Amino acid sequence: MLRHLLIPVIILFSIASFLQAQEREYVIVVHGGAGNLGNLLNNTEQSARYYAALDSALVIGDNILSAGGAGPQAVMAVINYFENNPLFNAGIGATCTAEGTFELDASIMEGKDLSAGAVAGVKHIKHPINAAYAVKTKSPHVMLSGLGAEEFAKEQGLEMVDDNMYFATSKTLEWIEKLKRESKKNGTVGCVVLDKDGNLTAGTSTGGMFKKRWGRIGDSPVIGAGTYADNNSCAVSCTGHGEYFIRHAVAFNLCARYRYLKEPIEQAADYIINQELNADAGNGGLIAVDKQGNIAMPFNSEGMFRGYVYKEKGKKTTVKKVGIGKELK
């Protein structure tokens, strides 16, 4: 008797899950780094620049996804925009090493087949995220680093910059002259997408840690640490103190908690960022979207540049929010 009663319940639960999965036609979430943003939050003029930049990034991604574009296309376009914007620690806004040079990292992953590509410690590739995608699609490897990654990028016809100082802004030039002065630049940009075909994609790009030495590489190009996507669970991009995100395999950890523990994405993400990482003083945050279009954007720092756009099926309008501190607008 109990068995017969359970069958309709199971069927109804499956239908409810299916309907939930169909509610959002597409989703895009972006971040521009997490860190100590207290001074910025009190600077109305500067905050407005970041809000405008986040809005512009979301519009770029939304235009691609609304037209039926695939996740990787949207992710790369958004991150290209961030890499061209000196407000962020990626591409032209990258922070400098202890030697006063620039070493950039990036990665991208598709959830439909778990294909991934990454570059690390590159100095002359204008858009590292494009190089990461080329590694994924044009090579048998997942990660290339340093001179080898740059040689590969040249072979693929990617845009290069002759002078490593291309990445320097007026602010970073000041840091180079006064390296003893600590930087307030906050690291890493990222984008995660659920496209109209139901595929998940995640990408991350960074200039790395200020005053890093010895070819240090953080979590951003490490698949499973700073970036991960799996159509069975989530797409994740992280930002923060990379050593801790590597140790805790944060991006994969979130996907695993969602898939195997059946935790809602917000609950799983909050646990990792505010309990696991806090226990080890791992400062930072992440953005994530699950296969049903649900979003998580937790951080344990003063703030995190972040925002999202989603469109529900059957509706003409999209929902868009951006934020720096705890509040979204």
Residue environment code for 102-138, b if the CB has 16+ CB neighbours within 10 A, otherwise e = bbbbbbbbbbbeeebbbbbbbbbbbbbbbbbbbbbee
Of 78, 86, 118, which is closest to residue 102 (Cα–Cα)? 86
Q: What are the φ and ψ backbone dihedral angles of 32, each rounded to 5 degrees? A: -125, 25
Contact (CB, 8 A) for 282 and 299: no
Q: Per the structure block, which two tokens stand in for 6? A: 């359970």
pLDDT at 307: 98
- The set of residues, in sequence order, having a beta carbon less than 8 Å from that of 213 and lying 6+ positions away, is 97, 98, 99
Residue 2 has pLDDT above 70, yes or no: no
pLDDT exceeds cutoff 90 at 282: no
Q: Is the dihedral of CA 279, 260, 195, 25 positive or negative?
A: negative
pLDDT at 120: 98
User: Does 241 show up as a binding residue in the annotation?
Assistant: yes
DSSP string, 130-156: HHHHHHHHHSS-SEEEHHHHHHHHHHT
Element spanning 311, H or E = strand 303-312
| Residue 169 confidence class, pLDDT cut points 50, 70, 90 | confident
The whole-chain average pLDDT of the chain stands at 90
At 231, the amino acid letter reads N
Say yes or no to pLDDT of 35 above 80.
yes
**Which has the minimum average pLDDT: 5-9, 162-166, 251-255?**
5-9
Q: Is 224 annotated as a binding residue?
A: no
Position 181 scores a pLDDT of 47
| pLDDT exceeds cutoff 80 at 187 | no
Residue ranges of alpha helices (H) inside the chain are 2-22, 38-41, 44-66, 71-83, 128-138, 146-155, 170-177, 242-247, 250-260, 265-271, 277-279
* Chain centroid, CA 136 distance in Å: 17
Q: Is 201 helix (H, G, I), strand (E, B) or coil?
A: strand
89-109 pLDDT, tens per residue? 999 989 888 888 899 999 999
Q: Does 242 count as an annotated binding residue?
A: yes
Give the type of residue at 88. Answer: F
Distance between CA atoms of residues 223 and 142, nearest Å: 9
Give the pLDDT band of residue 115 (cuts 50, 70, 90): very high
What does the pLDDT average to over 125-146? 98
124 is in an annotated binding site: no
In Å, how far from its chain's centre is CA 54?
13
Cα gap 233→198, rounded to integer Å = 11
**Is 188 part of the annotated catalytic residue set?**
yes
Point out the catalytic residue in the list 188, 206, 227, 318. 188
Rounded CA-CA distance 121/142 in Å is 15
160: number of Cβ within 10 Å = 16
Which helix (H) or strand (E) is 70 found in, with range? Answer: none
Q: Which has more pLDDT, 100 or 161?
A: 161
Token pair for 192: 């995660």
Helix, strand or coil, per DSSP, at residue 30 = strand
Band (303; pLDDT cuts 50, 70, 90): very high
Give the mean model confidence (pLDDT) for residues 256-271: 98
Whole-prediction pTM:
0.90
Q: Is the dihedral of CA 14, 18, 23, 29 positive or negative?
A: positive
Whether the CB-CB separation of 229 and 204 falls below 8 Å is answered with no
Domains recognised in the chain with CATH numbers: 26-323 (3.60.20.30)
